[in-house]
Amino acid sequence: MPIQSYYHWQGEVNCDQEHQVMIKTKAALFEQVKATILQFHDYETPEIIQLPITNGLGDYLAWIDKECR
């Protein structure tokens, strides 16, 4: 689903429709995921951020741990 994105770029305020993607993985795999995004993304400076998981449902956190190998 598209989101409306407002941002300042090269001296101008821009407004565009974008698709926000959230990739669920382990912190140890972040650099690999970032490299893959940079390889294929067409933006000069894509938004690539890492958010910490500070707490969560144990079963869900176990699922992430199991699936991200």
13 falls within a domain = no
pLDDT at 51: 93
Rounded Cα distance, 2 and 19, in Å:
5
Mean pLDDT by 10 residues, the chain (69 residues): 93 95 93 96 93 94 90
6 falls within a domain = no
User: Residue 48 forms beta bridges with which residues?
Assistant: none
pLDDT at 1: 85
45 falls within a domain = yes
1 falls within a domain = no
Q: How far is CA 3 from CA 20, 49, 65, in A?
A: 7, 17, 29
Q: State how many domains the chain has.
A: 1
Instruction: List the domain range (segments joined by +) for residue 65.
Output: 22-69
3 falls within a domain = no
pTM of the model: 0.78
pLDDT at 69: 78
